[in-house]
Structure 1
Amino acid sequence: MKGLKKIDKTQRFLIAIIVVYCIIVAMRNPAFLSLTTLFNMVRSAAGTTILAMGVLVVMISGGIDVSFPAVAIFGGYASLRICMWCNIKSLFLAFLISIAIGILLGLINAVLINILKLEPFIITLATASVFFGVMTILIGTKNVGASDLPEQFRALSSAKVFTTVNQYGGKIGLSVFIIPVVLCVLLTYIILHKTLIGKGIFALGCNNEAARRAGFNVTLLRLFIYGYAGFLGGIMGIIYIAGTNSVNPVSLVGTEMSVIACVVIGGAKPSGGYGKIFGTLLGVILYFLFNQTLVYLGLSAAWQDFFMGIVLLISIMSTSYQNRVQNRKNFIYTE
């Protein structure tokens, strides 16, 4: 019962939508209820889930970051090209290079936000273009196909945590991508709820000046927040390349709105100060349910944006209503 009380109205609403939608899809196509569907969804959602954790942390702090697709593809693509040029065979080094680049780009965002004192949305909108431009100038935009990928990327793409047999006798397996996803989710939870930094992130989102007066170093907090978002972007860059088994350097352009939508649908306040990991995960699940199962209902992929928009609107209205109720209670209490 205590666990249920921790689930807010927005999350209950999302759970209800997910359950009802799954029932409808399963009635239309029983093949939906299979391990194959589950494993495919886990693999497809891995990169988005990792990015969503970074967006959640930034949004709780009161910021909006739209540069994370540029950070992710810059880190992943640069790491790939360096591995190809230097004949690097280590997957660990590939991740390390991508993560280092991601953190560096995230810190650049934080430094500009701290210096210019402008809205993070404006800064990251500009840096997204700069990062893409620098990547194009320094590395190029050559597509890399599956046959040209270094061995460690191909090995990561096909690696499984375990394999089993589906109802048709074919082999299926849970992608190893689930491991970095779980680790990133756990790390984000620990940072937000078990550390002083996490308290500072929530305080910063509620009131910048109040956080400063409470003793938090706002400048260092922002460096950590955007550096952490870059860290997750670096991980996602490698996961994305391995997941698609190829890379087009501009293929992540435009995906920022989908990830932000998942976080907002999960109940995070764009104004800052509130957000939950569980709600964000529900938002990602709902997004990929629509993304991969509308075909079972005989609908085109174009309907995905429509359904996500409706859910987003309802979620925002629900959050707004809860805020008004809470503000009214606070007003009555102070009176």
Structure 2
Amino acid sequence: MKGKDHVLQKMFRKNETYLFLILISYSILVTAVNSSFLTLENFFDIVRSSAGMGILAMGVLVVILSGGIDVSFTAVAISGGYIAVRATMAAGVDNLAVAFLISCAVGILLGAINGLIISFFRLPTLIATLGTLSVFFGALTTFVGTKSVNAREMPKCFINFGSAKLVHLSNVKGHTYGLSVFVIPLLFAILLTWFLLKYTMLGRGIYALGNNKESALRAGFNLVRTQLFIYCYVGFLAGIMGVVYVSEVRWVNPVDLVGQELTVIAAVVIGGAKLTGGSGTILGTILGVAIVRVLYSTLVLLGLSSSWNDFFVGLIILVSVGITSYQNKLKNEKSLSFKV
């Protein structure tokens, strides 16, 4: 019994346990209102619509762990996706691998610009990326174009990727559905981020940078190199998301994804990542993405307008920042009491 009690105590000390319980409780509530919610078909739909956000969230988690904030990743993602579509169209290439290579290369390049600006000019990450958010969107529309591309115009590799399924099933009405192939790039982003944070010196440097920059310097971590890698990594994942997004919606416009930054940041913060850095988990981030996506897809089922989405996202960020500030205040008070 003592062993079981110890396991339970350990579980309930973790933020992820409460997130999982919130997700399950909310799902039961929605199912009680609308029984069509808790079905395998709906679950697969939520997974498909969560893939892009989940990929971006992995990159945002890495930035937040380092003590930074990046709000330019949506501009990076749409730049990669849009340029990949326009470039493959211009070259007459209908190849998904080429599209991913182009989009990721654009993402890494724009991420490197962020990293260099932040590292060498020592600008606050929020200010720097807020500036590059506008610069990237402006450069895309000025130098690449403003023309939207629809499903009939874009290469078929995007359309085929968007409709591909790993598993094919059918419901009682004969309607076919399945698990989207988008789960592959999502799992790739999750596993790559997990390996980076758990098994590499760069991962340790990211945590060290978020906990205390001066201590990280004394420990021998190269902060310029670490920050440059962080923003290149975010750009790389944003490049992947760019192709996933275009394939999902079968349409691309250079101003798509504008204003979606806070939704992704909110998902990461819900997952337990502290905006002050040094604390956060991949499992928590996955659960945070799931909660936000389930919330978005069920408000209408609960009789609420979709305009409530932004209200809840803003509220979540305010509450999370408030909790983090309160925890830091308690920690400072404890350290002062020990000194006295």
Q: TM-score, normalised by structure 1?
A: 0.94
Structure 2 counterpart of 1:211: 216
d(CA) in 1 for partners of 2:200 and 2:12? 22
Q: Which amino acid aligns with 1:254?
A: G
CA distance in 2, matches of 1:236, 1:306: 25
Alpha-carbon distance, 1:6 to partner: 5.9
Judge which range, 218-227 or 293-302, deviates more: 293-302
Deviations 1:157-193 (A, max 9, x none): 1110111112332111110000110110011011011
Match of 1:234 in 2: 239
SS of residue paired to 1:118: coil
In structure 2, C-alpha distance between the alignment counterparts of 1:274 and 1:42, rounded to whole Å:
26
Determine which of 221, 227, 240 is the counterpart of 2:226.
221
- 143, 146, 159: which is aligned to 1:138? 143
Note if contact 1:10-1:315 (Cα within 8 Å) is conserved in structure 2.
Answer: no
Q: Give the residue type in structure 2 aligned to 1:187.
A: L
Q: 1:4 to 1:159 in 2, by over 3 A?
A: farther
User: 2:185 aligns to what?
Assistant: 180
Matched, 1:34 2:39: yes
Contact 2:262/2:313 (8 A) holds in 1: no
Match of 2:30 among 18, 21, 25: 25
Q: Matched residue pairs, number?
A: 335
Rounded to whole Å, the distance in 2 between the matches of 1:268 and 1:174 is 29
- Is the contact made by 1:71 and 1:131 (CA closer than 8 Å) also made in structure 2? yes
The CA deviation at 1:329 is 5.2
SS at match of 1:109: helix
Relative distance call for 1:91 and 1:227 in structure 2 (3 A) is: same
Equivalent residue for 1:298? 303
What root-mean-square deviation, in Å, do the aligned CA atoms of Structure 1 and Structure 2 show?
1.9
| Aligned with 1:52 (options 37, 52, 57) | 57
Unaligned runs of 5+ in 2: none
Match of 2:249 in 1: 244
Decide which moves more: 18-27 or 238-247.
18-27
User: 1:97 pairs with 99, 102, 121, which one?
Assistant: 102
Pairing of 1:102-141 with structure 2 (within 5 A): 102-141=107-146
Amino acid at match of 1:258: T
Any gaps of 5 or more consecutive residues in structure 1? none
Amino acid at match of 1:207: N
1:28-70 per-position Cα deviation (integer Å, ceiling 9, x unaligned): 1110011121111111111111011111101111111111011
SS of residue paired to 2:252: coil
Q: Which residue in the other structure is 2:270 paired with?
A: 265
Conservation of the 8 A alpha-carbon contact between 2:70 and 2:126: yes
